[in-house]
Amino acid sequence: MFSNLFSKKTPVTIRDIKLYNTESKQIEVFSPFDDKEVKMYSCGPTVYDYAHIGNLRSYVFADIVKRVIIRNGFMVKHTINLTDFGHLSDDGDAGEDKMTKGLKREGLPITLEAMRQLSDRYIKAFKDDMDELHILEPEKWARASDYIKKQISLVKTLDEKGLTYETSDGLYFDIAKFPKYGRLGNINLNKLKSGARVEVNNEKRHPADFALWKKSELGWESSWGKGFPGWHIECSAMAMATLGKQIDIHTGGIDHIPIHHNAEIAQSEAATGKTFVKYWLHNAFITIDNTKVSKSLGNTITMRHLMDRGFTGDDYRYWLLTAHYRSQVNFSWDALKAAKQALFRLKRYVYEEFKQKTATPSKEYLDKFDDCLANDFDTAGAIAVMWDMVNDKNLDNKVKCGTLMSMDEVLDIGLSDDLTDGVRSLGVISTDELPEEIQKLIDGREAARIARNWEMADALRDKLKLEGYELEDTAHGPKVTKF
């Protein structure tokens, strides 16, 4: 499926990819298990609510990793999971199931059928976000509830090997039976004994022991009673079911390192006796007001919020790529606005000055660009090279345009979009740039639409057109275009 991803005109020199492996804490030269096909797994969302912009950074990063690997001669087999049950709100295998929390929030019955209905809604919303951000689809979307038999089978294997013990609330993995537990991130198990990490469970032999199966009236039948698999076992089972017992790259946010990914390593390697993942790659947090973005803190911003303010997925993707993935970045509307303006200038170069007429890309600038990306996916450095090329007065405009097209095959920030769509997208404006009277009309129409007063909503839309503004309803809210 990747044969047409990159232009045949792109004079790309295959180079070694260097990446930072969280496990070794070193930059390593990428060498997959298979010389041609790379197996890659990305921890997906728990689909009980909209993904926030912090969540989405992980998938933009994974997308860049995937594109760089393909650009350097490999095929990639990629899985993203969709957790639609079993992710508890507390890392210590306590608290409320997040899907159940979503059912209660939306007034739905606490049943597996309603849980499926709820997750359908948020899976669609998540995929819409992925499309808006130009993220390549994985070869496999692995939905947790579709892999129950695989998860139960993996738990059974661990149980039969004597690596588990049963309590009143479930079946737990005994980390004492896996001496290498905690090697990812060098977790200090002695500190965990104080109860600093998790809620106290007196039936657990060690605070870091984690649930493989949780007993519950809602769920599936098993040898350990009715219930559901633990969140960690879901990922291991789905990764192995779709990619095999050994995978090359596993991506996720740094918050997964201490517990989730160490649990994946322990249960997977204990079951197979093989190295589970060769390279662990983790992106840093996004903060707002220097505080981590978190639903529990109530400071989340979604793609819909961005689009309500007149920003696009291109704008947000570009802003993310101006920072290295291992750098924590602080989100602000001013920063995103600056990114939007910079991207606007790039698109204007393509659509107005370069006229989308291309010549063979500059090998000099492409080599610098690809060197940056092959050096631990340094998108910030790659974008700096891109701007140096654009500002080079000795370079022909057609060559500049061809070079931008090649660069955009990896960055995918909208420079290669269709001309008509491109010019139209340049007219999208932020709500903070709208005249007050226009914003009032938009707010009034949105209120009418929510109230299902379609006659009023249509009348206000027509009034906006008379004022020179077009309103388009999208999956993420209204998009305003000045014409």
CA 153 from chain center: how many Å?
A: 28
d(CA 111, CA 382): 49
Q: What is the maximum span of the chain, computed from C-alpha positions, in angstroms?
A: 74
pLDDT in the model for residue 193:
58
Asked if residues 269 and 280 have their Cβ atoms less than 8 Å apart, the reply is: no
Asked if residues 64 and 379 have their Cβ atoms less than 8 Å apart, the reply is: yes
The pLDDT tens digits of the residues spanning 456-475 come to 888 888 888 887 787 777 65
- Res. 481: pLDDT tops 80: no
pLDDT in the model for residue 4:
41
The pLDDT tens digits of the residues spanning 98-113 come to 999 999 999 999 999 9
pLDDT in the model for residue 92:
63
Tokens (6 digits) for 364 = 């000099």
- Res. 420: pLDDT tops 70: no
- Res. 448: pLDDT tops 80: no
Q: Helix (H, G, I), strand (E, B), or coil: what is residue 121?
A: helix
The pLDDT tens digits of the residues spanning 354-406 come to 666 778 899 999 999 999 999 999 999 999 999 999 999 999 989 999 999 99
The pLDDT tens digits of the residues spanning 294-339 come to 766 677 899 999 998 889 999 999 999 999 999 999 999 999 999 9
- For the entire predicted model, the pTM comes to 0.85
d(CA 467, CA 469): 6
pLDDT > 70: percent of the chain: 88
pLDDT in the model for residue 429:
54
- Res. 441: pLDDT tops 50: yes
Helix (H) or strand (E) holding 480: strand 477-482
Asked if residues 78 and 20 have their Cβ atoms less than 8 Å apart, the reply is: no
pLDDT > 90: percent of the chain: 69
pLDDT in the model for residue 95:
78
d(CA 58, CA 295): 16
Helix (H) or strand (E) holding 78: strand 75-82
- Pairing verdict, β 75-82 and 37-42: parallel
